[in-house]
Structure 1
Amino acid sequence: MKAVRFSVFGGPEVLEIVDVPDPRPGPGQVRIAVRAAGVNASDWKKRAGLMDPELPQTLGHEAAGVVDELGAGVTGVAVGDRVFGFTAEPAAQAELAVLAHYAPVPPALDFATAASLPAAVETATRALDRLGVGEGDTLLVNGASGSVGGAAVQLAVARGARVIGTGSAPNHEHLRSLGAEPVAYGEGLTARVRALAPDGVDAALDVAGSGVLPELIALAGGTERVVTIADFAGAEAHGVTFSRGDDGRVLHALDEIGGLVESGRFTPPDVRTFPLTEVAEAQRLGENGPVRGKIVLVAG
C-alpha cells in the first residue's frame, strides 16, 4: 500500500509517498480503507526531529474509512461499516490503517469531517474531565477558536457550563456561534474576563500556550483548577497540570460525539482537504500560520 513516510528530518520536502507492507489488525482492532486522515501539529514536529528520534517514520493518528478486515474478537462492527478513530500506530496517512479505538461515523458526516474529530474531541474531553467541568460551572478557554478550543467550548456548553473564550477579534462571531462569550487576547485579559465574571471562573483550559498561565491561575483561584495542553514549560514552572494523550486517552469521547453531532449540539470544524499525494503542501500550510478549522488528507 501507499503511505506517507520520511527517512530524514527536515522541511516538508522530505515527505514521500512510498510502498509499505499492508498492516493487519490485531485482537480487538479493525483495518480500514482510509478515506481521510487528520493532519496535526505533531506531524511537522516529528518531521523536523523535535519528537521521536527514530527513522524512518510514518505519520498520522486519526482516520476515517471503511472497515475491510476485522481482528480477532471484534464484535459490533462489520466489513463495509463506516468508522473513525485512532490508529494503533502513527500510520493513518496511508491507503490502509489499523484502528485500535473507533466508533461509527455519524450519518450526517462525510469521511473528511469525521477524520477531523478524534484528536480534537478526545483532547478537549480529557481536559474537561480532569477539570471536572459540569453543570453551572464557568470555564475560561484560552485559545477557543482552533479545532481543540472549539471542541472544548461546545463540549463544555453541552455539559451545562458557561464558557468564556479568548480569541482574536475576527473570530469573536465564530466563538459566539459555538456558545462562548468572547474576549480578546493580550494585555488586560484579566480585567476583560472579570468584566464578564467578577468572581473569576471555576476552571481554565489553556489551548493556545500563549504565556498566560499566571492570569488563568488567578482567575480560577488556584493551580488545581487549570489545565494546559500547550505550555509544558509553563506548567512545570507554575505547578499546573499538563495534559497529553500518552498519559491515558479518554476514549468515551469517540462514543459520545456522534450523538452530539446528530442532535445539533456539536458543530464540527471547517475542513480544508488535500489529496494524500499533496501532504507536503498540507503540512506547509499548517506549519506556516494559524488555520481555522482542520487540515485533512483524503484518498484519491
Structure 2
Amino acid sequence: MKKFAYIKWAKTEKEIYQQNQWLKFLPSFLRENYIINYCPLKMKEQSIMDLEGYEVTLPFTVEQANKKSDKVVQKIINKAMEILKSNKVKIICPPKGHIHKIDYSIYESKGQYVIPLFIFNAVKELAKKLDKPLKYIEITIIDGENLKTDLVLDIIYPNVNYLNLITDKLENFKEKSIDIYEDVGLNLQLISHNKKTTLENSDIVIDCTDSNHNNFYYCRKNSIYIYIGSNKDMVKDILLKRTDLIVIDNFSLLFKNESYTTEFCEMLWYISKPWFNNIISNNYDLILLKKIIKEINKDGWRVGEFYQYGKVIVINKMNYIDKIF
C-alpha cells in the first residue's frame, strides 16, 4: 500500500530527544555527528480518510537547521528519504521554514495540481467581493506555457462569459479557441500584444507563469490577482510594486469541517485517486475532467481561506483587504 509522510522540523530540542533520551547526554559535537549521519526520525503513524501514512519530525529545529550548511541539511534529508522509502512512502509534504534549497528523492507535494482543480470554486467565492454578477466578470489567464495553464483554461471556460488568454504562443491556442467556441459558444480572446488594455479591463487575473514578468503593472486598481505559478519571488515583487491589488497565491480547503492545505490535499489524492496521475501527466480529456470536478464537489470539498504570501487575508465587499494575519 502506498503511504504518505508529512514532514516537519522539531518544535523544540526536547522533542528531538523524546525517542532517544540518551542523545542529550552526549557532548554536542558527538550528538550532532550522530544526528547528521543517522537521522533519528520521530515517526508517528497517521490514518486520514482511511489512508495510511506518517507524521515525521526531523531531528533539528528549523532554527538549528538554518544555521547548518546546505550540504549538511541535504545529508539529513537524504537519510530521511531512505528511511521513508523503506516504509513504503511514495509522496511527502516537505518541511517548511528553512532557507535551504533541498532536493527530495520522493515525490514532493506542492499543491500545484490541486489549486487549478479548485480555481473556478475560488473565482466564485472571490466574485462575491466584486460589485457585479459572475456572468459579467471579465477573467484573464496569463499563459505559463505549462500544464497549469491548460488545466485552468479547461476548468474556467465552460463557466464564464468573458475570458482572455495572454500568451506569446498564439498558435498553440488557435485550435483550442475554436473548440471552445463550438463547445459552449464562448469567444476566447487570445492576446499577445495589447496586454495593457486587456489587463486594465480585467476583474480577475489568473497568472500561471513560473518566470518573472511585469504584466501586473497594467492591472486595474483593486482587481483580484491570483498567482498559481511556482515563483514565490514573483509574488513578493507584485506585493512590493502593486500594493493596490488583491493578491492571492494559495487557499485552504475544507472537508467535513476540517481544514487542509492544498499541499496536504494533493498528497492524499496522489495515493488515493486513480485519476490524479492523468492530471499530473496531462493525460486527460474534458469528459474525464468533468467527472473529476463532479466527484470533488459531490465529496464536499470546498475553498476555505485565501492566502497571500503565507498569511490569511480577509477581503471585504468593497474589494479591499480587511485583514492580513
TM-score of the aligned structures, taking structure 2 as reference length = 0.40
Higher RCO, Cα 8 Å, sep 6+: 1
Q: Is the radius of gyration larger for structure 1 or structure 2? A: 2
The structure where helix makes up a greater share of residues is: 2
